């Protein structure tokens, strides 16, 4: 008998992070009958990803409304996913991350008494309003979950501290690294993309994204003012900011940054365009979960535009810093990396601590073993292990520093 699996996605990061899990389930079609449910929480922002990964949803639930509220969205996802569960009758429903789609789909499965597999389980900031509502969403999902796919040892430990039996947890590595590894080597050009108009000069590129609900309003305004300060001060940088489609983000960003010299606001980028931009960037300023996890693959220093993060591994490795949202803080931290080569190089060393490119295989293998009632869900030596921390840096000679600095951004 085949294991019947529903994989639910609804937003851009879910599509990107589930792409190779769905691929692997379909590759093992002798064992799995798979249905993809697209809630449609994001109607357009993940279209590129669906096309790129050739994902054709089996159920398209079309729940998005302009400027939707959390409650109404939750209600629509709950209703429609429950209906999909009745129609497909899965053995397990896989949800990813901390969105309303993930939370409400887990709840719908639980109400139908269907097992939930939670991918990217166990991330915690320990503050339910930061990020809002994601921290509560992921904790609520944990309560209803049968298999917890923790990306790292730290996320596993968070779950164990909450009383979840270790036999139900598998340390997989984050699947975003699988996707990045699979795609980042494809040839890519900026021609005919929203990046085509950006002058190809000697300016260093500073990549910015920011969309979190807890920073709407004055925090977002501060961030915009800080970006203006930075381009005024550093004539050799360009800020590239692909702006999220949420109207609450767009209104502030457009009002404060449109038509500012060397600040380029673009539409959301297709995944290949985005990854290519990330590779060519000098520095990343972001509040995105996924981008915090991706940047270390290319050794790009990340300044995290948040007060706390549930993904502390990169800062523990010295590859990211949590800098908050004050105008002065953003300017001074970015300034340091734009002017102090040693400080910059300190943050651009090491392996990605979030994953090794095999997360999706581990997840699918564990689901297979769970279905066949095998224990453990995955043998300990097959789980994801953190790479070694970057060595504490000796002071580099001027020649070494100069050579690396010249190479940065041209890789």
Instruction: Note the residues at the interface with ligand UDP (CB under 6 A).
Output: 12-13, 16, 176, 209, 211, 242, 268-269, 271, 274, 288-291, 294
- For ligand UDP, the closer of residues 16 and 226 by Cβ is 16
Please state whether the peptide bond connecting residue 376 to the residue before it is cis, i.e. omega within 30 degrees of 0: yes
Is position 41 an interface residue for ligand UD1 (rule: CB under 6 A)? yes
Which of 34, 99, 193, 297 is close enough to bind ligand UD1 by CB under 6 A?
Answer: 99
- The alpha carbon torsion through 104, 110, 114, 115 (nearest 10 deg) reads 90
8 Å CB contact between 240 and 276: no
Known catalytic membership, residue 134: yes
Q: Which partner in ligand UD1, ligand UDP, none is near 32 (CB below 5 to 8 A by kind)?
A: none
Q: What are phi and psi of 116, to 5 degrees?
A: -110, 135
Is position 245 an interface residue for ligand UD1 (rule: CB under 6 A)? yes
8 Å CB contact between 210 and 223: yes
Q: Which partner in ligand UD1, ligand UDP, none is near 120 (CB below 5 to 8 A by kind)?
A: none
The single residue of 98, 178, 287, 310 carrying the catalytic annotation is 98
The single residue of 134, 293, 294, 310 carrying the catalytic annotation is 134
Residues 128-147 that bind ligand UD1 (CB under 6 A): 133-134
Known catalytic membership, residue 229: no
Q: Which partner in ligand UD1, ligand UDP, none is near 271 (CB below 5 to 8 A by kind)?
A: ligand UDP
Q: Which partner in ligand UD1, ligand UDP, none is near 42 (CB below 5 to 8 A by kind)?
A: ligand UD1
Whole-number minimum distance, CB 264 to ligand UDP, in Å?
Answer: 12
Closest CA to 49 of 176, 226, 148: 176
Cα separation, 98 vs 397, whole angstroms: 45
Cα separation, 405 vs 408, whole angstroms: 5
8 Å CB contact between 346 and 315: no
Known catalytic membership, residue 244: yes
CA atoms within 13 A on the CB side of 360: 23
Known catalytic membership, residue 98: yes
Q: Is 197 helix (H, G, I), strand (E, B) or coil?
A: coil
Is position 125 an interface residue for ligand UD1 (rule: CB under 6 A)? no
Concatenated DSSP letters for 263-315?
EEEEPPPPHHHHHHHHHH-SEEEE--HHHHHHGGGGT--EEE-SS--S-THHH
- For ligand UDP, the closer of residues 211 and 300 by Cβ is 211
> For residue 356, what are the CA distances in angstroms to 149, 151, 176, 197, 246?
15, 10, 10, 34, 32
Whole-number minimum distance, CB 150 to ligand UD1, in Å?
Answer: 19
Q: Which partner in ligand UD1, ligand UDP, none is near 184 (CB below 5 to 8 A by kind)?
A: none
- For ligand UDP, the closer of residues 102 and 114 by Cβ is 102
Catalytic residues: 98, 120, 134, 211, 213, 244
């Amino acid at each position: 008998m085949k294991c019947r699996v529903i994989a639910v996605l609804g937003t851009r990061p879910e599509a990107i992070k589930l792409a190779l899990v769905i691929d692997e389930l379909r590759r093992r079609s002798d064992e799995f009958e798979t249905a993809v449910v697209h809630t449609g929480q994001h109607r357009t922002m993940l279209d590129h990803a669906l096309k790129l990964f050739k994902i054709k949803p089996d159920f398209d639930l079309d729940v998005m409304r302009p400027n939707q509220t959390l409650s109404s969205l939750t209600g629509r996802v709950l209703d429609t996913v429950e209906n999909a569960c009745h129609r497909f009758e899965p053995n397990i429903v896989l949800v990813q991350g901390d969105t309303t789609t993930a939370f409400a789909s887990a709840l719908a499965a639980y109400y139908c008494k269907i097992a939930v597999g939670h991918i990217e389980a166990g991330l915690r900031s320990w503050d339910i309003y930061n990020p809002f509502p994601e921290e509560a969403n992921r904790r609520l999902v944990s309560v209803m979950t049968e298999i917890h796919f923790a990306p790292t040892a730290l996320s596993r430990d968070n779950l164990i501290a909450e009383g979840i039996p270790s036999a139900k947890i598998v340390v997989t590595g984050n699947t975003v690294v699988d996707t990045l590894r699979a795609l980042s080597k494809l040839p890519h050009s900026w021609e005919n993309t929203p990046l085509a108009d950006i002058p190809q000069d000697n300016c260093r590129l500073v990549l910015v994204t920011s969309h979190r609900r807890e920073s709407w309003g004055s925090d977002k305004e501060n961030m915009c003012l800080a970006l203006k300060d930075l381009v005024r001060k550093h004539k050799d940088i360009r800020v590239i900011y692909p702006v999220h489609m949420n109207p609450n983000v767009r209104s502030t960003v457009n009002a404060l940054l449109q038509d500012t010299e060397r600040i380029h606001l673009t539409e959301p980028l297709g995944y290949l365009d985005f990854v290519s931009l990330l590779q060519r960037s000098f520095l990343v300023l972001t509040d995105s979960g996924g981008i915090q996890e991706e940047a270390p693959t290319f050794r790009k220093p990340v300044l995290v535009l948040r007060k706390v993060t549930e993904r502390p591994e990169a800062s523990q490795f010295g590859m990211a810093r949590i800098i908050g949202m004050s105008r002065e803080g953003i300017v001074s931290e970015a300034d340091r990396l734009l002017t102090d080569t040693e400080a910059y190089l300190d943050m651009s060393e090491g392996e990605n601590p979030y994953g090794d490119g095999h997360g999706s295989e581990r997840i699918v293998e564990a689901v297979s073993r769970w279905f066949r009632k095998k224990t453990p869900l995955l043998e300990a030596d097959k789980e994801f292990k953190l790479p070694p921390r970057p060595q504490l840096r000796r002071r580099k000679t001027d020649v070494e520093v100069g050579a690396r600095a010249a190479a940065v951004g041209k890789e």
